[in-house]
Amino acid sequence: MSMGNESMGPGIPSLFTFEKMYWAVVGAAIGAFTLVNVYSWFLCRQRLRSTSNTPAKPKAFPFLAMATCTALVRELANASLPVFAIKSLRTPSPTLGKASLVAANIVVLLVMCFYKLDVSDQWSFEDIGYRTGFVTVCQLPLLFLLAGKRNIIAALIGSSYERINWLHRWASRCFLLTATIHMGYWFADWAPYDYIGTKIRTDPITKHGVIAWAILVWITISSMTPIRGWSYEFFVVQHIISFAVFIGFVYLHIPAEVKVWVWICVGLFFFDRVVRGFFYLYNNLSILHPTQRKDGTMGKLWALNAELTALPNNTTRITINNPPISWRPGQHVFLSAHSLALMQAHPFTISSLPSDGKMEFLIQSKKGGTQKIYRHAEKIGLTLPSTNGDLTRGSNTSVAIEGPYGCIRPLQQFDRVILLAGSSGASYTMPLLRDLVRSWKSMDGQSKSQREKPVTRHVRYVWIVKAGSQLSWFSTQLSQVVEDVTHLQAQGHDVSVDISAYITCDETFTTEQKTLLDAWKAYSTSTTTKYGQVTEVLDSVDDEEYNDFGMEKKFASKDEKIEVQELDRYSSSDTAEPTSKQSCGPNGTCCCTATIEDEDDDEAIRPACTCSCGAGPSRTESSRSSILNEKPKPKQPFLHPAISVFSGRPSCRNVIRKTLEQAYGESAVVVCGPQGLVHDVRTSVVSLSDERAVHKGTGAQGIWLHAEAFGY
């Protein structure tokens, strides 16, 4: 008789029933999140097609009730738990939403394991051992469902694999918990007879179970952030091998009646690999893209060639011209260049739009594969335009891409959008900003009867970097956004963009930017020359590494001539000599920890700089003035005059508050950057939602938060 069909007492379900009950709970949870996703899709379509002046503001009672419930759930879900710290060791603070989901899963599992069983009665230990074993093995498919890149659960709930990967890790830890309970009760049953060692040595089933448990412990420990971040490539390889061996020993350990759970896992694994392999071949084989192949933009076999450009601050720009696939803003791909970094594929956010006709990535060199790519970019000599506009191109590098992956709600459905980025996090937020402006521009080409009109009226964009030279990564795009919005406003569109750049370790750049801007404005008022020529920062580096670093920028009409010049060497403190050995910014410069509380305050341009690790280089006002006095015509500002530049750090709470106070409907806050920035923004959103009593009778509108933190 099958053990799984047996009951352990009156009113106690069979072991198979407990497995079905667990999956009923999991299925109900997935179904609930799927319904929320469907509602979000419906709400987006309703807003974009609405003829109301405030489509992002709920009006009917059902929508008001839903908005109130949503606001309460968001406040609770995004609230951060206290940070656990031992001396200098600090663990990331989980959100209450994530912690609640994990706790709910643990409660369900423990109830399934011990329902109507006496945990202290030694004669029940064997029954508990069987029960926990059946409950444990039925969790296996959930681990594989949550692990796949082409993720079925993520597709249903409107998410992506990387956003639910944390749940895969915690589901694995819950799996380890029940497996440990399973093993512990069997050991407790044998211990009074001193039979544990004998059982392990003589019983193959027990031996296979202990080995499987030991492998599971290794998998869990090696998946923790410090080890995973130490060498991600090693982690991936050993993780797959370890799980394959683990599944093999589990198969040998469990009875035949529950081996179906293992076969489901095998099926899910190969389904994910086959689907990923199909898209991988489609992305990278030129024979599948005859149009681009005829144009000569692809090789005979391999579709993708990339141009590598070495940028300041150990950054590489990778450009794939005329890519064969499309993507949505905010998505990423796994990029591999096997000639440079063998058997490595790293996830990089696509920093361009499909309409650009190219796929671009900005990659900061850390170690391993990214460092090899950066060094190769230096060697091949692919440089940015020189002062005469010529472009010297190096040899192309064959690359492969897998994806795209990633999912974010359409931002066009929100009344106000706040985008915050730290350093290379702008690769994520910049396409979102440009896509919003593109949707505004597309309104002119559609008839009112058939178009879905973007709801967004205002976008607030904040970018925090260490060095001023980092702004060159997207200075063209930022300035073009300003020009496009200015043109739209001239046509009568009620849209606006407010852009700020915060530089934390380059105080001289912000001072020079303000000085140049003031001088240029004074010069422009006395001449007929229009603003249409832009200069770039040139990092002072060895001539062997870079030559004539500059980028062509164009903000005015097409008839105006664009001239690319170099700013003087004082425009970025990257080039200055440090005056303190304790300095910690780029090349030893001072990092300013001052927080800009109010951008509208003129003195905010030059706050008192409180260095976090020592005094950095500085220059007197007289020296700056003498530089300008040497030239009859001042150089033009590095950035568009409408873009504010500050030295210090932003007050995320104040930035978000000011935008929310002007909102006529639900707003979106999107942040991408280091963990500290993400935590600050998340805390600010939760605090402001509670303080303003969102959808609780005050008139304050909803806030939707989307956070992307650096790291795997």
| pLDDT per 10-residue tile (average), the chain, 712 residues | 61 92 98 97 94 89 91 93 68 87 98 93 93 97 96 96 95 98 96 94 96 97 83 86 96 96 96 96 90 74 87 88 93 92 89 95 86 85 44 67 95 97 95 96 68 91 91 92 95 94 77 64 52 37 36 38 34 38 50 65 51 45 42 54 89 95 95 93 95 87 94 66
- Cβ contacts of residue 657 below 8 Å, gap of 6+? 688
- My answer on whether 315 and 420 are in the same domain is no
Task: Give the pLDDT score at 355.
Answer: 94
Provide the domain limits for residue 396. 290-404
Same domain, 507 and 654: yes
- Both 387 and 451 in a single domain? no
Query: How far is the C-alpha of 576 from the C-alpha of 505, rounded, in Å?
Result: 12
**Can you give the pLDDT at residue 575?**
36
Last residue of a domain, one of 380, 404, 428: 404
- The answer to whether the CB of 423 falls within 8 A of the CB of 466 is yes
What angle separates helix 161-190 from helix 204-222, to the nearest 10 degrees?
140
In a domain, 34, yes or no: no
CA distance 166 to 176: 15
Is the same domain home to 496 and 587? yes
One domain, residues 112 and 260: yes
Same domain, 440 and 375: no
Number of other residues whose CB lies within 10 A of the CB of residue 605: 17
DSSP for residue 461: E
Domain boundary among 404, 426, 452: 404
- Beta-strand pair 644-647/305-311: unpaired
The enclosing domain of 377 has a CATH number of 2.40.30.10
Say yes or no: 263 and 387 in one domain.
Answer: no
Task: Identify whether 150 is part of a domain.
Answer: yes
Q: Are residues 135 and 162 in the same domain?
A: yes
Within a domain: 16: no
Report the candidate in 298, 360, 280, 348 with the shortest Cα–Cα distance to residue 672: 348
Measured distance CA(344)–CA(542) in Å, rounded: 31
Q: Evaluate whether residue 13 is within a structural domain.
A: no
The residue among 358, 384, 404 that closes a domain is 404
| 31 belongs to a structural domain | no
Question: In this structure, are 450 and 551 located in the same domain?
Answer: yes
pLDDT for 226 equals 79
Alpha helix stretches (DSSP H) within 384-494: 426-442, 475-490
Count of Cβ atoms closer than 10 Å to residue 301 Cβ: 10
Q: How many domains does the chain have?
A: 3
Distance (Å, rounded) from C-alpha 543 to C-alpha 569?
14
pTM of the model: 0.83
Residue 259 has a pLDDT of 96
Is there a single domain that holds both residue 241 and residue 369? no
Burial 519-536 (b: 16+ CB within 10 A, else e): bbeeeeeeeeeebbbbbb
Q: Is residue 260 part of a domain?
A: yes
Rounded distance between C-alpha atoms, residue 372 and residue 233, angstroms: 14
Residues 240 and 380 in one domain: no
Shared domain for 352 and 227, answered yes or no, is: no
- For residues 400 and 279, give the distance between their C-alpha atoms in angstroms, rounded to a whole number: 11
Enumerate long-range contacts of 345-350, CB under 8 Å, 24 or more apart. Answer: 345/400, 345/402, 346/370, 347/162, 347/405, 347/712, 348/318, 348/427, 349/406, 349/427, 349/428, 350/404, 350/427, 350/431
Do the domain assignments include residue 30?
no
- The pLDDT assigned to 299 comes to 72
Asked whether residue 369 is domain-assigned, the answer is yes
Do β-strands 400-405 and 315-321 pair in parallel, antiparallel, or remain unpaired? unpaired
What tokens does 375 get? 């060094």
